[in-house]
Amino acid sequence: MEIRLRYFAALREMIGMDGETFTLSDGATIADARVTLIARHPAVETVLARCVVARNHAFADDATVLATGDEVVFIPPMAGGSAGE
């Protein structure tokens, strides 16, 4: 099956693109997508460990089973402070 991964913030900077298509086995989970992403782009492993994930615009966890055409977004933690500081 094919899924689309989208990257934001630090992941986009590290990978050098805003997304790509992955081919995974039927029944693959978000955890499997993480493993595949790390295999393709080993430098993202540390950041990826701190990301939350969304599948088709809804938060999900690593046990979520994926389907053909799904969009998976890994969302890195954001840094920053309040505007009043």
CA angle 52, 56, 60 (to 5 degrees): 35
Question: What domain range includes position 57?
Answer: 2-75
Q: Strands of 19-23's sheet, edge to edge? A: 19-23, 2-7, 71-75, 52-55, 58-60
80 lies in some domain: no
For residue 83, being part of any structural domain is answered with no
pTM of the predicted structure, to 2 decimals: 0.86
Q: Residue 68: which CATH number?
A: 3.10.20.30
What is the residue type of 63?
Answer: A
| 85 within domain boundaries | no
61 falls within a domain: yes
Return the residue matching tokens 């969009």: 71
Question: Does 81 reside within a domain?
Answer: no
pLDDT in tens, the chain (85 residues): 999 999 988 899 999 999 999 999 999 999 999 999 999 999 999 999 999 999 999 999 999 999 999 999 999 887 544 444 4
> Tell me, what amino acid is at 47?
V
Domain total in the chain: 1
